Amino acid sequence: MDWLKGMKNNFTLSISPAYDPGFLPLGLFFRWYEQQAASSQEEIRLALERENGLISTWKTRILPLNEKNLPLTRYFVARLVKFLLWQKGGFKIYLYGPEIIYQQIKKDYSPEGERAFDDDFMSTVYEQPFSVVKVRKEDLPEERQSAISLGGHFDGCRLGFDLGASDLKVAALQDGQVVFSEEIPWQPQPEADPAYHYHHLQAGLKKAAASLPKVEAIGGSTAGIYINNQVRIASLFRSVPREIFDQKVKTFFIDLQREWGVPLEVINDGEVTALAGYLSLNQPAILGVSMGSSQAGGYLDPTGRLPGWLDELAFAPVDLNPGAAIDDWSGDRGVGAMYFSQQAVNKLARQAGFKFPDEMKLPDRLKEIQALAEKNDQAAIRIFQDIGVYLGYTTQLYSLFYDYRHLMILGRVTSGVGGELIKHQAEFILKTDFPELAERIVIYLSDEKSRRVGQAVAAATLPEIKR
């Protein structure tokens, strides 16, 4: 890894994070590597298979695999595969390329490998054993996508909810007008009994329903992965034992729909973030980034549809710094959850010298730093500016994988003055380091109320009421 320690010498950052000076943007590395390999005849091609035979493909040139280039190329391919897997999703990777690269990826993505978490996660999500297979170029599966349209339905009486790690947000809409919205504190992650989650959500929905003459549809937003309203993976249920998860959590929202007897749709909160942006801007090609207890991502393509990708950007890498913070769930370094979330604020605050009682939870630590920023505390202000630096450089990284024109940011971390600081610093990075992107991508910060409960309102528009 000695080559990686000196990699920053190849890049020029207009600003480094004050409390994370070792930050090494992955997007700059990808761009630099591809420039170095532009004239090479070596290449790799990838195809990632997910549900219903859907396929995402990627190809790129790699440097000739001599002794000098091999460690560099190993790392490039490893981070590329990791990003693609968490962006697109999949239970099988088809790889065309050199044998030594194939063997590395196959070893990494195995129950005993470096990416054992990813292997297990994807197997659980898609209910298929995860595998990496080598194929000839002519045998690579072809791209096969299936975009869907969801949301934007304002007719009738609707309930919406957004399940965060510290707040449960509910909203009631009647013919497009918000007649009720509220944030309800809760602590779902340490709860091993899903009855806790069900009781709190039902209580919130019933409170919102009291503002409507009837309920005709319910839409939901929460972190995790949902296929046909089935819960496959969800951080809110991390403490639930696997056997209870399979018995009670998997059909959590199906049971909820059965009890209410109305159309119900639940999707990832990142996708709802993108939908909220679309409803606000009336423009497609939106990448939504929600900064809450973790990071959520969602994407509406240039046609205004959801491609059906995983978009679990919390686990997608953004930083090459070999000393980057480790995500306690996935065990990987430099992934999005540690840069765009309450965890990021906590990490930077501790680097800035702030001390918190061990029993103080992350939401309360965030509130403390936000309150200090409102009082113009310079150390607190720099924490949000550092997140803005992260966001500016990561906007460039995301542009390599997403065709987007609008970046919508929201979530608890963006509340108050912190959101403005993040936005302004990211815009400065774009204008200074990536002027071509600054002309193409606009960063949006929704109004204060929408930042906090906007996902619940957008989620309410998900189901179609069939009359």
Q: How far apart are CA 296 and CA 315, in angstroms?
A: 10
Q: What is the mean pLDDT of residues 80-100?
A: 97
Q: How far apart are CA 446 and CA 34, in angstroms?
A: 35
Statement to judge: residues 292 and 213 lie in one domain: no
Q: What percent of the chain has pLDDT over 70?
A: 97
Q: Find the CATH number of the domain harbouring 229.
A: 3.30.420.40
Q: Which has more pLDDT, 383 or 148?
A: 383
Tokens of 283: 């423009």
Statement to judge: residues 128 and 188 lie in one domain: no
Whether the Cβ atoms of residue 281 and residue 405 lie closer than 8 Å to each other: no
- Residue 29 counted as domain residue: no
The pLDDT score that the predictor gives to residue 192 is: 95
Per residue in 319-378, pLDDT (tens digit) is 999 999 999 989 999 999 999 999 999 999 999 999 999 999 999 999 999 999 999 999
Q: How far apart are CA 165 and CA 177, in angstroms?
A: 27
Statement to judge: residues 250 and 365 lie in one domain: no
Statement to judge: residues 100 and 195 lie in one domain: no
Statement to judge: residues 220 and 120 lie in one domain: no
Statement to judge: residues 252 and 284 lie in one domain: no
Report residue 447's pLDDT band, with 50, 70 and 90 as the boundaries.
low
Statement to judge: residues 285 and 386 lie in one domain: yes
Q: What percent of the chain has pLDDT over 90?
A: 77
Please say if the pLDDT value at position 413 is more than 50: yes
Statement to judge: residues 239 and 360 lie in one domain: no
Statement to judge: residues 117 and 216 lie in one domain: no
Q: 10 Å Cβ neighbour count for 75?
A: 18
Statement to judge: residues 360 and 322 lie in one domain: yes
**Domain stops at, among 268, 286, 320:** 268
**Domain stops at, among 209, 237, 268:** 268
Per residue in 32-69, pLDDT (tens digit) is 999 999 999 999 999 999 998 999 999 999 999 988 89
Please say if the pLDDT value at position 2 is more than 70: no
Per residue in 291-309, pLDDT (tens digit) is 988 898 889 999 988 898 9
The torsion angles phi and psi of 74, rounded to 5 degrees, stand at: -55, -45
**Domain stops at, among 79, 105, 139:** 139
Whether the Cβ atoms of residue 201 and residue 164 lie closer than 8 Å to each other: no
- Residue 1 counted as domain residue: no
Q: What is the mean pLDDT of residues 452-466?
A: 84
Statement to judge: residues 234 and 290 lie in one domain: no
Q: Compute the residue count for the chain.
A: 467
3-state secondary structure the chain: CHHHHCHHHHCCCCCCCCCCCCCCEHHHHHHHHHHHCCCCCCEEEEEEECHHHCEEEEEEECCCCCCCCHHHHHHHHHHHHHHHHHHHCCCEEEEECCHHHHHHHHHHCCCCCCCHHHHHHHHHHHCCCCEEEECCHHHCCCCECCCECCCCCCCCEEEEEEECCCEEEEEEEECCEEEEEEEEECCCCCCCCHHHHHHHHHHHHHHHHCCCCCCCEEEEEECCEEECCEEEECHHHCCCCHHHHHHHHCCHHHHHHHHHCCCEEEEEHHHHHHHHHHHHHCCCCEEEEEECCCEEEEEECCCCCECCCCCCHHHCECECCCCCCECCCCCCECEHHHCCCHHHHHHHHHHCCCCCCCCCCHHHHHHHHHHHHHCCCHHHHHHHHHHHHHHHHHHHHHHCCCCCCEEEEECHHHCCHHHHHHHHHHHHHHHHHCHHHHCCCEEEECCHHHHHHHHHHHHHCCCCCCC
Statement to judge: residues 244 and 360 lie in one domain: no
Give how many domains the chain has, as a whole number.
3
Q: How far apart are CA 64 and CA 58, in angstroms?
A: 19
Q: What is the mean pLDDT of residues 249-253?
A: 95
* 180 contacts: CB under 8 Å, gap ≥ 6: 170, 171, 172, 207, 208, 210, 211, 212
Segments forming the whole domain that contains residue 221? 157-268
Q: What is the mean pLDDT of residues 152-169?
A: 92
